[in-house]
Structure formats: structure tokens, C-alpha cells
Amino acid sequence: MAKKIYTERFEIPGKVCIVTGGGGLIGMKHCEAIVEGGGVAVLLDIVPEGMERVKKSVTEEYGEDTRIECFVTDITKREALEKVRDSLLEKYGHIDVLINNAANNPKVEGGSKNLGAMRFHNFPVELWDQDIAVGLTGAMLCAQVFGEVMEKQKSGVILNISSDYGLIAPDQRIYRKEGLPEEEQTIKPVSYSVVKHGLIGLTKYLAVYWAEKGIRVNTLCPASLENGQDPAFQEKIGKLIPLGRMSRPDEYVCTILYMISDAATYMTGATVVLDGGRTVW
Ligand SMILES: NC(=O)c1ccc[n+]([C@@H]2O[C@H](COP(=O)([O-])OP(=O)(O)OC[C@H]3O[C@@H](n4cnc5c(N)ncnc54)[C@H](O)[C@@H]3O)[C@@H](O)[C@H]2O)c1
């Protein structure tokens, strides 16, 4: 076997890696990437059950010495984030990676609860405020609180999780259900597009702001995750994707580990798109 020169750069031994929304679908994949790289996964979520499910599953897969910490935390509250920071610094003395992954992620695909009331013209400002608070303000606050530690350390990585909808508008036709009147058709809400586009702006701003402080900041755009949507929806969306299908959650893990590790030391301010080619069509 040839000797290995480069692959050890993907290892992140002992790195303390925070994942917001760590109890969700992709949270599990971030956690696997961190654990497989040898890091300490720190999950932040408002729902404890999701984090416990992730911790149990990843520990079963990777073994009892897996290091996963869970904090029930609302990322829209700065004081809550400061408590997490203080607790991590007391225990580990450093914070190395922040993955801004939490978002309100309304499911509007076929078979989902009908969100017909959420047309653009009557989209409630309260929902707009909540979505912006979690997806954008939460990411900004996490970058402030944990980025300050990274700045002092002169090293760190921030990965913002956007979406193909951070680059293109939702094609609302795929969410339509035959036979429903117009006012009852479901649509992807405007706040989702604004949050996901906004995260790319946050990435570029911070990448430049911290370029000389040893902190890299990048965006990953996942897209179209297969998660039990009905076959009719999967067929409709598949036609918009050159690879012809939705993605599997496991198709993100290697890219996540690459982006948060020293394999990507020259990458900052970048937008990495994993969308089966959807945005190039
Ligand atoms: N699933 C997809 O198809 C898809 C596609 C593209 C992008 N994304 C993005 O990937 C990310 C993760 O998506 P997912 O499918 O895992 O979503 P998910 O809904 O399964 O997970 C999001 C998690 O965020 C948590 N959360 C919500 N508000 C919070 C708060 N105030 N503080 C802390 N945690 C909070 C939720 O409890 C949930 O566990 C999101 O940013 C989403 O927009 C998902």
C-alpha cells in the first residue's frame, strides 16, 4: 500500500466542534463527520429528544469512547450561548469549529401538513421574525460568541449551512397538489429564501473580516434530501435535478469533514454546492 501524505489532514483529533440544530436530520451527519474525524461533537438544540437520538445512534455506530456533548440551548439567546461557551472553555479550553446548521425548516412537500395559509401575500410577520431569528440572527450570535474565542486562539472554522434555495428561487410548482384551490396550495415560505441567501452574505462578510485571524468561514449548500417524501413529489423534484434523484443524508459527510478540517486550509468565503446539479440547469 502506498504511503499516505494527505489523508491525515482530514483528521480533527480533539477539536471541539459545535453543531447548532444538532438534533435534526443533517445534525446527525455533522455529528458523524466530527466523530469520524476524531473530534468532540457539541450539539445545541431546543429539542432534547433529537440530540439524544443522535447521540445514541452515533455512539452505537462508533463505540462507547465517542465524545458527544448535548446542550439544550435556544441559539437566539446570547446568554444561553455564553453559558455553553463558558462550560466548553472550562472543560476543554478551546472551541475549534462552529457549524451554523439550525433553521426553521418548514416541510411543504407532498403529503406534509397543508401550509396553504402561508401564501406570500398573507405570510405572517410573526413567522418571518421567528425564521429570521433562528436562521440568521442565531447564526450571527453564534459567530459572535464562539468566533470571539477563535479570534483569541487565532484559529477556527465556521461552516454555515445554506441550501440550493440560497442560490435559486424555489420552484413552487413541485409543491402543488392536483385538485386543491389556489389559496390552499402549499409553498416554500419567503423567509426560507431570505435566510439561506443571507447566510451566504454572512459567510463572505466574516471570511474577509477574520481572514488574517486564522478563522476560515465557508458555506455548504445541501439540497433535496430524501426523507420519506411521497413518490409523486420525489418524481417531480427528480426531473429538476440532472442526477435525477434526491440526495441521501450520507452524501454530505465527507464534504463536511473536508470543509472543517485542515484538508481545506486555503478555502474561505466559498460556497460549496451539493445539489446533484440542480442549480446549473
Ligand atoms: N433537509 C433538507 O432537504 C435540506 C436541504 C437544504 C438545506 N437544508 C438545511 O440544512 C439544515 C439542517 O436541516 P435539517 O433537514 O436537518 O432540519 P431539521 O429541521 O431536521 O433540524 C433543524 C434543527 O434545528 C433545531 N432548532 C430550531 N430552532 C432552534 C433554536 N432556536 N435553537 C437551537 N436549535 C433550533 C430544531 O429543533 C431541529 O432539530 C437547515 O439549515 C436546513 O435549512 C436542509
For the chain, percent of residues with pLDDT exceeding 90: 87
- Which residue CA neighbors atom 24 of ligand 1 most closely? 21
Q: Which domains does the chain have, with CATH numbers?
A: 13-276 (3.40.50.720)
User: Residues 118-130: what's their mean pLDDT?
Assistant: 89
CB atoms within 10 A of CB 70: 18
Mean pLDDT across 103-109: 77
- Confidence label for 115 from pLDDT (cuts 50, 70 and 90): low
What integer is the mean pLDDT of 252-266?
98
Distance of alpha carbon 134 from alpha carbon 3, whole angstroms: 45
Mean pLDDT for the stretch of residues 123-149: 97
Q: Which of 105, 134, 241 to mutate to test the pocket of ligand 1 (most atoms within 8 A of CB)?
A: 105
Q: What is the CA(196)–ligand 1 centre distance, in A?
A: 12
Tell me the mean pLDDT in the region 67-94.
98
Least confident of 36-45, 50-59, 171-180: 171-180
**What are the distances in angstroms from CA 16 to CA 12, 70, 98, 232, 260?**
9, 13, 9, 42, 11
Distance 228 CA to ligand 1 centre (A): 16
Q: What's this model's pTM, rounded to 2 decimal places?
A: 0.97
Quick one: pLDDT at residue 112? Answer: 46
Q: Which atom of ligand 1 is nearest to the CA of 103?
A: 41
Q: Using the mean position of ligand 1's atoms as its centre, give its distance from the Cα of residue 133 in Å.
A: 13
Kindly tell me the burial class for residue 3, based on how many C-beta atoms sit within 10 Å of its own C-beta (0-12, 13-18, 19 or more): exposed
What pLDDT digit, counting tens, does each position of 180-192 carry?
888 788 889 999 9
